[in-house]
A and B are shown apart, each in its own frame.
Chain A
Amino acid sequence: MPAVSKGDGMRGLAVFISDIRNCKSKEAEIKRINKELANIRSKFKGDKALDGYSKKKYVCKLLFIFLLGHDIDFGHMEAVNLLSSNKYTEKQIGYLFISVLVNSNSDLIRLINNAIKNDLSSRNPTYMNLALHCIANVGSREMAEAFASEVPRILVAGDTMDSVKQSAALCLLRLNRTSPDLVPMGEWTSRVVHLLNDQHLGVVTAATSLISTLAQKNPDDFKTSVSLAVARLSRIVTSASTDLQDYTYYFVAAPWLSVKLLRLLQCYPPPEEGAIRGRLTECLETILNKAQEPPKSKKVQHSNAKNAVLFEAISLIIHHDSEPTLLVRACNQLGQFLQHRETNLRYLALESMCTLASSEFSHEAVKTHIETVINSLKTERDVSVRQRAVDLLYAMCDRSNAKQIVTEMLSYLETADYSIREEIVLKVAILAEKYAVDYTWYVDTILNLIRIAGDYVSEEVWYRVIQIVINRDDVQGYAAKTVFEALQAPACHENLVKVGGYILGEFGNLIAGDPRSSPLVQFHLLHSKFHLCSVPTRALLLSAYVKFINLFPEVKGTIQEVLRSDSQLRNADVELQQRAVEYLRLSCIATTDILATVLEEMPPFPERESSILAKLKKKKGSGTVSDIEDSRKERNVNANANVTSSPSSDLLGLGNSSAVNSASPPTSSHAASLLVDVFSESLPVAALGSASAHVIEENFSRFVCKNNGVLFESQLLQIGLKSEFRQNLGRMYIFYGNKTSTQFLNFSSSVVCPEPLTADPVLDGGAQLQQILNIECISDFVEAPVLNIQFRYGGSTQNISVRLPVTLNKFFQPTEMTSQDFFQRWKQLSPPQQEVQKIFKAKHSMDTEITKAKIIGFGTALLDGVDPNPSNFVGAGVIHTKTIQVGCLLRLEPNTQAQVSTAALGLDDLHFSESLASLFHTHL
């Protein structure tokens, strides 16, 4: 008997659907639908209460209309009412409507939540399942708030039915995904792990999904799942194909559960415990062996299921990356699939091999399949398979096969699908640069790339080739010659004109000796392309022309003529006009020397990560590409001189190169901002030289009497201090806090200090966060040291100079002495050299306690009961320097009425008295 009998459906619904299907035109369909919507609306609004059956019928009609792509803006309330029906069918259709039509921020959620709450507590498994499904399908935050603690309880309760457990596990997974903060981890976690042992394989499957997700966020909480998962997997793998009854799918034992378990194990490193590890290795070997056995069925489902497990096992082997024999076996297995007649398997094999190529154990083994992969690039009918082949070629590329792979990719590019051309272009450009042994090959490759697929060559690619040519003088002559030849073609791509213009403008002189490429020929060649180009390219060419004026004085006249023409000087485009005017004036006024300086050859670009790589990463999502890059980097340390690991992602960096004194041919749209950039950056650089002029001292005074706190804070950076001093030595911990979300690059700091103080900055363990300064006081000093910090943020260099709060009083050792001693010594001092007296207006309140605290903070001991007048303050201490120790006596006589204090300092050494006195009274 079929589970759904066809006869007893809803007749009204069937009639409506038939009507729609009979509509001859879209208009007729819309008309029929609108009629039906009006009908339903009036029924819902009507006075007569609808019975459950009618409600169900109308809701079904609405669902059908919705499926056809029409908005449904009513009926929600009726659906919510159906939820509280005590009839299963009505309840079910209500839930169906809600999970299809209600989005997560509907106003009705509260009403729905009430109905769900009732059903969850109904103890009727069917109702509970409906409710759990609804939570999982809608998954809104409000639902999470209402049920995040209830669902785990249902999941681990002893008396919950299996089917409800399954639903509860997935429901919890969904809540954890949408609102992880609301799902409390608790004692239920360990019981969830034990669900892996459950009798019911459906429960185990659902629990495995749940644990996999939770374990990614809290691996420690679910560590115990590893041994259970291995045990379970082992039981499945070794079972006879009939053991698991219904969970055997086309002679494969529980393929979905096996896949899920293998995924779960990929959340963890290889198990450390020998026994578990051995058992897992055994499992993986069995899976690999089974794949080699003759199939038990000819059905495609059998091989699909078997291979689903196999591919997941291989993923785990690759993830562990620790068993060379397994890795090589996996690679061989995949190699067989590369020529399998099933397209799906070829696709998956190429995909898996991509990750395998990044393991050092199997990289060589993967490389042996290069011919097969190249062949599939040529013969495969399916573009998605070809794309995987390109990915794999990219992943398996190294120095030994780079030329072959790049050549193959280039030839494939000519016929490649338009959708993947740009990606191939980027990949070719990266490989060509990365594995270039001789850069003439690199230049040839890129020019070929532009020739074959110029439209798909993005800015980054041609920026990069120029960057490299400029930085490597061994290739400049060749590059000039090659672009010159390439430009001879009657129709060449605009990107080639850009590269040609830039390179000839810089290095045209290197080929000017040959009469076939004399300056005038070069100029005419470039200018013949001028009128076919867009504005940015023309702007670039104008810059190239003015560079020619410097390189070849003999063509100056010709070029001035061109610049002077109305089509340049009065060009409608502001940028072009401005360049023409300025370049013309420059060439007329400036002497040869000035011209030579202004139009000097571009200085080398700073080494940085290839911007192309950044682009590819952006395009592909950071996942695959960067993984390959990172893991392979180690192996290729020496192979690539040009790709540095600096995470900077901007382009050429015309804006920040040190191009102050050379009018570089600027690129199109940045042209206007170029000068601004240069100046805005050169300012702080200049300031660096005379650091003291801009030293920030704003918080300095706060530190005279204390040792910890925030020294500096801007929108970018916070600098905190912790310092301790003992005798003549001090140690200062400087904490740099990056307040932005992006990285600071090239972060460096240095300390400038006056003679009598030494400070050596020790960068702690390569971390940029904390820095320790060791300080020694050699003799007395007034000027505190300055901390200069330099780093790159965004595109510009930041310089910050902060005065470090190292003051003489930090080297005080408090001394206790009696009243008698104190006054005896006081009297021995001989003013004015040894005694300094100052009368000053109180800047702060003259509260006794605060003053006391300040005196202690200043470093001296506070001597109570020494002075006969109790309102006076007396302190004593010894200043330690490397060479001498200086005793210091202090008296402060506040006069509260006049709001002035008289402070007297007595010191053994007169040099110290002045510096200390000024410190004391400015800060007290």
Chain B
Amino acid sequence: MIKAILIFNNHGKPRLSKFYEHYTEDTEQQIIRETFHLVSKRDENVCNFLEGGMLIGGSDNKLIYRHYATLYFVFCVDSSESELGILDLIQVFVETLDKCFENVCELDLIFHVDKVHNILAEMVMGGMVLETNMNEIITQVDAQNKMEKSETFIFQSPRQDR
């Protein structure tokens, strides 16, 4: 099972954190820092798997990560997941984000945290892979947006914003 999905930038600023096991807020922050520490010191072109840090549960867990431009995408998983499978899942996730945001960049993740969460929710649920088919995921996200739009036009009064 997937225990946590973390996205942070090259400086360790978290851009998304989603935990599928319960930790206290403090521990969650420590896990993010520890993971960043473990992942960021690795060279490019080394392998994409490493043993998890102590906080997330030690060597029974693996960190599977990819580094795209300014962002690290890290999945913390237990031994029941296929390493390469998860690696491809990260790819699907990023490709989906790219399609949804049109050339996704770090800023998109910052300003649309809720959207990123919603896209992720279409792929992973309660720590298990829900859907891997990108077209299916995008169809769902589109449907959500359509609903959102229809509601926005009726109810939103965008001027009074602050």
Contacts and interface: CB of A to CB of B under 8 A. Distances in A.
Nearest to B150: A88
Interface in B110-133: 110-115, 117-118, 121, 125-133
A3 B141 contact: yes
A96 B18 CA distance: 11
Contacts of B69: none
Contact of B136 (A87, A104, A174, A202): A202
Given A71-B25, A381-B43, A247 B133 contact: yes
Interface in B70-126: 79-80, 82-85, 87-89, 91-92, 99-102, 108, 110-115, 117-118, 121, 125-126
Contacts of A202: 130-133, 136
Given A4-B100, A11-B161, A60-B114, A308 B84 contact: yes
User: Which of B17, B32, B161 has the most chain A CB atoms inside 10 A of its CB?
Assistant: B161
Contact of B88 (A71, A173, A255): A255
A67 B113 contact: yes
Given A174-B127, A247-B133, A384-B51, A344 B29 contact: no
B143 to A, nearest CB: 7
B155 A93 contact: no
Nearest to B103: A2
Contacts, number: 203
B129 A9 contact: no
Contact of A170 (B102, B128, B133): B128
B152 A89 contact: yes
Contacts of B162: 11-12, 15
Given A69-B14, A96-B114, A173 B126 contact: yes
Contacts of B84: 304-305, 307-308, 311, 344, 348
A87 B131 contact: no
Contacts of B102: 2
A726 to B, nearest CB: 57
Contacts of B18: 100
A374 interface: no
Interface stretch (A132-140, A152-160, A228-236, A272-280): A132-140
B88 A346 contact: no
A69 B12 CA distance: 12
A249 B125 contact: no
B129 A256 contact: yes
Contacts of A67: 14-17, 113
B147 A88 contact: yes
Contacts of A387: 51
Interface residues of B, number: 77
Interface size class of A (residues with CB under 8 A): 35 or more
Contacts of A861: none
B37 to A, nearest CB: 13
A167 B125 contact: yes
A87 B125 contact: no
Contacts of B158: 11
A35 B51 CA distance: 40
Interface string A419-431: 0000000000000
A205 interface: yes
A246 B60 CA distance: 33
Contact of A96 (B46, B117, B132, B142): B117
A17 B110 CA distance: 8
B14 A68 contact: yes
Nearest to A348: B83
B82 A311 contact: yes
Given A2-B100, A12-B161, A63 B51 contact: no
Interface string A134-152: 0111010000000000000
Contact of A384 (B1, B49, B128): B49
B145 interface: yes
A190 interface: no
Contacts of B14: 67-69
A216 to B, nearest CB: 10
A672 B101 CA distance: 70
A13 B112 CA distance: 9
Given A2-B99, A263-B80, A96 B118 contact: yes
A126 B146 CA distance: 12
Given A174-B126, A343-B48, 13 more contacts: A2-B99, A4-B101, A9-B111, A11-B158, A11-B161, A15-B162, A92-B144, A173-B128, A304-B87, A344-B47, A344-B48, A348-B49, A382-B43
14 contacts: A4-B101, A5-B145, A60-B113, A67-B17, A88-B148, A96-B114, A133-B126, A136-B125, A249-B88, A259-B82, A311-B83, A343-B48, A344-B83, A348-B83
